[in-house]
Amino acid sequence: MKLLRFGAPGQEKPGLLDADNRVRDLSAIVPDFSNDALLPESIERLRGLDISTLPLVEGTPQADLRLGPCVGAIGKFICIGLNYADHAAESGMDVPPEPVVFNKWASAVVGPDDDVRIPRGSEKTDWEVELGVVIGKGGSYIDEADAMGHVAGFCVVNDVSEREYQLERSGTWDKGKGCDTFGPTGPWLVTPDEVGDHDDLGMWLEVDGKRYQNGSTKTMVYRVPFLVSYLSRFMSLQPGDVISTGTPPGVGMGQKPPVYLKGGEVMKLGIDKLGSQTQKVVKA
């Protein structure tokens, strides 16, 4: 299933994408895609619905029908750094002996096609297409062998990053990762059965029609089951938490010379089976 949230910012309703790429309204079935609605038994109930009986929503998704973030009320937005060896190399950094963990703040989350705002004074705003993992069943000290049973689905994330704030202003990476609008998420939450092999998904990103990133999840260093297990040692994972798992090479910082967003550009990005995003870059 492809689960989504549609409507104006702050007023999104839950829905799903049917076989004709039309949105069906699920608001009479579930209040939102958050908390208990993401538990395995809740997802299974949705799978048993007769989709043809659900109300059709007017408009074409990502055209004249806005989609919001595919998860409502994200609790924790946990990110993994330097998780592709070739991206670590272009960044001039070694592959870490354990995953690098940082956070985006909930206020960074926007819909997949909403504007991305460059912070005031920024000179080094950058892009990163990433595989997002949405937690359905919470837990602590999760065994790696059981980890996929805790995953509700996958989505596209643009881990927008301000490199000066991240790397040159001392302290943690978080200050360059969690600016408002730096977490476009969606367009849909795709359940694992529809994704299939999440270890071999093509992923790409373009700026103004020029392709900068063209990679695959198969080059990920620390894979999804390990990451879920690893993170659960340090915090309880809860329904609606999102894990953004790192980016392949091709970020602006890695270009020679570096290329950064200045305002006015259009970013397009996507991952096989998970859909695509389009964001206009504007100045705050």
Whether 87 has a pLDDT exceeding 90, the answer reads no
pLDDT digits (tens, 9 = 90+) for 118-143: 999 999 999 999 999 999 999 999 99
pLDDT at 279: 98
pLDDT at 75: 93
Break the chain into its structural domains and give their ranges. Answer: 71-283
pLDDT digits (tens, 9 = 90+) for 15-48: 999 999 999 999 999 999 999 999 999 999 999 9
Which residues on adjacent β-strands are paired with residue 5? 14
The residue ranking higher by pLDDT, 91 or 214, is: 214
Whether 91 has a pLDDT exceeding 80, the answer reads no
CATH of domain 71-283: 3.90.850.10
Angle at 141 between CA 135 and CA 147, to 5 degrees: 45
Band the pLDDT of 267: cuts 50, 70, 90: very high
pLDDT > 70: what percent of the chain?
Answer: 100
Mean pLDDT calculated for residue range 267-282 = 98
pLDDT at 66: 98
Contacts of 248 (CB under 8 A, 6+ apart): 84, 86, 87, 129, 203, 213, 214, 215, 216, 219
Number of other CB atoms surrounding residue 42 within 10 Å:
18
How many Å is the Cα radius of gyration of the chain?
18
pLDDT digits (tens, 9 = 90+) for 148-174: 999 999 999 999 999 999 999 988 899
Closest CA to 132 of 87, 179, 74: 74
Task: Spell out a b/e string for 178-193, using b for 16 or more CB atoms within 10 Å of the CB, else e.
Answer: bbebbbbbbbbbbbbe
Q: Which amino acid is at 182?
A: F
Whether 276 has a pLDDT exceeding 90, the answer reads yes
pLDDT at 171: 83
Phi and psi dihedrals of 258, rounded to 5?
Answer: -60, 150
Closest CA to 178 of 166, 195, 190, 164: 166
